[in-house]
Structure 1
Amino acid sequence: MSDDVPRLIHESRSHSSSQPNRDRDFSSSCPFCAIGSTYSPLPPLSSPETMAKALDPEQLDPPSFVLYSSEHVIAFLDIMPLTRGHVLVAPRKHRVKVGDLSPGEGAEIGRVLPLLARSVIKAVLPDIPHESADYNVVQNNGPGAAQVVPHVHFHIVPRPPLNYTYPQVRSGPAASSSSAKKYQPNRQPSGRQAAAILFGRGMREDLDYDDAALLVEDMRAAIREEWEKSLGTSREERGRAANAETVEGTSGSGGPSSAGGSEKGDGNGRRLAWKV
């Protein structure tokens, strides 16, 4: 990959909420700030073609698969997922702990988190209705609470049934109730297994980029569907989506740091993985 592609910086586990950049909007060493500053806000009702161009994963190294990008919030696939479809939802600006969120940031996260959870499940487990699906929504504050990247983020972790087989045919994220399969519900975990699931811990694997490219498209489609169903399509929202179709060069946000600067890493092309 060429050297002009910014790289996500590996975050050290040792950090403190009292660090000097805690109250700033951007941290040059934060991988989530790199994602937030690279991908501009985009209306969720934008066309798939516009989404694919503006949210091209290859704008960062390693690639970032963004499914939602708004003024205050950005959501993307975890690069080392606990399960398929593990998503992180974060404020665009650098906020270390949930108590650091502004009223506007907190309000938008509160508004879109349920919608994103439904959309993730619809895309990952299309033959299981939401009311029958299991998933975690986890948020940690500080190293003592298992926060590794010091930038607020919520985990959405799908928990498929035991021996679940992911559908092979991509027929769209929405599955009708008549086509939904019947699975035995997950057993209530106990002991260490319960603690691991409760706190979003477990075995992680590197993200499969080929699968992620398809999955993030399904997630965007599910978000659009949920948005239209839950929040409606006002004339203003349709106008913003239409305007997005005509805007070119939307890969950079013009924020404190765009595709360059310290996000380039050490220039050796290594995949700098990070874990949250």
Structure 2
Amino acid sequence: MSVDDLYPIPCAFCNISTAYPAESSPVPSSPDPEKVDPQCHLILSTPHVLAFLDIMPISPGHILLTTRNHYRKLSDLQPPTPTHNDWASQRAATDALETSRALGEYLPILSRALCTVTGIEDWNVVQNNGERAAQVVPHIHFHLIPRYQEGRKETQRNGRTDYGMLKSWRMFGRGSREDLDDEEGKVLAAELREAVRAEVEGGKGKGEKAKL
């Protein structure tokens, strides 16, 4: 047994999952951001996934989509095949499958909501697995990072896009991040929730969206 086993480090995303249990609607109406410290500006809360604003965004609107239950890496979403009458393993296998589906379902929804609220045309979806891959919180999460058009040189003389001149284009890393202003976060999260709600209500009848 290691020291880590004796003194586990609390998982920030598990704390958020516990603080904001799933409700009848995947889009919370007015979640209290002060249920956790630092504040959580919640956007989505389903039985299998949650989404909230990154507290150190690379750009305004930077969203994190994470799993409700604790999985460290994407590869952990494929548990061993459940054995007959082993209810615990069957439940784990079912949760892993439904969580995988929920991640795939909500990534496009959040992307469209992000574009609607911020007016962006381009964005990154980044997912890291392990410390060497820059995973800071050891709990599966996807980054949706807006890339803003304002103030950029869009084309070179040959007419091709000059990606090196996009002023909002910054490589994913710690050096370019700033703390999220809580007041701005409250406003932005509310706008994103409404945009997600419109997306979900427009597509009732599929997956977790049908629970609205």
* Shorter-normalised TM range: 0.7 to 0.9
Q: What amino acid sits opposite 1:104 in the alignment?
A: E
Q: Choose between structure 1 and 2: higher helix proportion.
A: 2
Structure 1 residue corresponding to 2:13, chosen from 32, 57, 61: 32
Are positions 1:136 and 2:111 aligned together? no
Q: Distance in 2 between matches of 1:146 and 1:237?
A: 32
Q: Distance in 2 between matches of 1:113 and 1:209?
A: 24
CA gap of 1:91–1:58, structure 2 versus 1, over 3 A, is same
SS at match of 1:74: strand
Residue 15 of structure 1 aligns with which residue?
A: none
Q: Distance in 2 between matches of 1:142 and 1:72?
A: 21
Residue 117 of structure 2 aligns with which residue?
A: 123
Identity value in percent: 38
Q: Distance in 2 between matches of 1:38 and 1:138?
A: 25
CA gap of 1:28–1:71, structure 2 versus 1, over 3 A, is farther
Residue 163 of structure 2 aligns with which residue?
A: 189
Cα root mean square deviation, aligned: 3.2
Q: Distance in 1 between matches of 2:41 and 2:62?
A: 11
CA gap of 1:44–1:28, structure 2 versus 1, over 3 A, is farther
Give the structure-1-normalised TM-score. 0.59
Structure 1 residue corresponding to 2:193, chosen from 199, 215, 220: 220
Give the structure-2-normalised TM-score. 0.75
TM-aligned CA deviation for residue 232 of structure 1: 2.2
SS at match of 2:145: strand
Residue 99 of structure 2 aligns with which residue?
A: 105
Structure 1 residue corresponding to 2:182, chosen from 199, 202, 209: 209
CA gap of 1:103–1:215, structure 2 versus 1, over 3 A, is same
Q: Distance in 2 between matches of 1:96 and 1:138?
A: 15
Counterpart contact for 1:196–1:202, Cα < 8 Å: no
Q: Distance in 1 between matches of 2:115 and 2:126?
A: 15
Residue 171 of structure 1 aligns with which residue?
A: none
Stretches of structure 1 that go unaligned for 5 or more consecutive residues are 1-18, 22-26, 165-182, 242-276
Are positions 1:160 and 2:133 aligned together? no
Counterpart contact for 2:201–2:209, Cα < 8 Å: no
Q: Distance in 1 between matches of 2:116 and 2:24?
A: 20
* Higher relative contact order, chain-length normalized (CA < 8 Å, sep 6+): 1
